[in-house]
Amino acid sequence: MPVRSRTKAAAIKDGEVLDPGIFEGLAGIRLAMRRFLSFSEAVLSEAGVTTQQYQAMLVIKVAPQSRVKVRELAEEMLMQHNGAVQLIDRLEAAGLALREPSVYDKRTVLVGLTPNGEKVLEALARRHLGAMLENEPLLVESLSRLRKLAKMG
């Protein structure tokens, strides 16, 4: 699994008056996110894939050898183990993923994408990348504004 980088957020003390630019930066980020998520929901619905299924497919794809343990999928998806099992059941029923025993430990079940799952994910990822890049200028401007103001504070 890729290691998620965690950076320390700029500390703004309670009661401290926020620069109006902070609100502008946050609003810009929220707008870009809402545009992207609205696009994503429409594209996923058109493809017959839920947001959770798409996210799970991304998690599987970036895992080593494009296989993930159920426990790891649950952790990456911020869900309980039984919820991940149900999600995998739905992915299997849709022909997008499959369970297979680990070659190293037969007690361990790995989840991978089917050839159809790979094809669907590839098509969805292309469309999502395009939409994300359309929002890049607003995201970059908003994040830059917030970074500059956080350093000033």
Structure confidence by residue, pLDDT tens digits, 58-69: 999 999 999 999
Cβ atoms of residues 88 and 70 within 8 Å: yes
Average pLDDT, the chain: 91
Tell me how far apart the alpha carbons of residues 56 and 111 are, in angstroms, rounded to a whole number.
Answer: 10
Q: Look at residue 9 in the predicted model and tell me its pLDDT.
A: 54
pLDDT in tens, 97-138: 999 988 888 789 999 999 999 999 999 999 999 999 999 999
**3-state secondary structure (DSSP) of residue 110:** strand
The CATH number fitting domain 20-152, selected from 1.25.10.10, 3.40.50.200, 1.10.1530.10, 1.10.10.10: 1.10.10.10
The predicted model scores a pTM of: 0.84
Which range has the worst mean pLDDT, 19-23, 41-45, 54-58, 81-85?
Answer: 19-23
For the chain, what is the total number of helices (H) and then of strands (E)? 6, 3
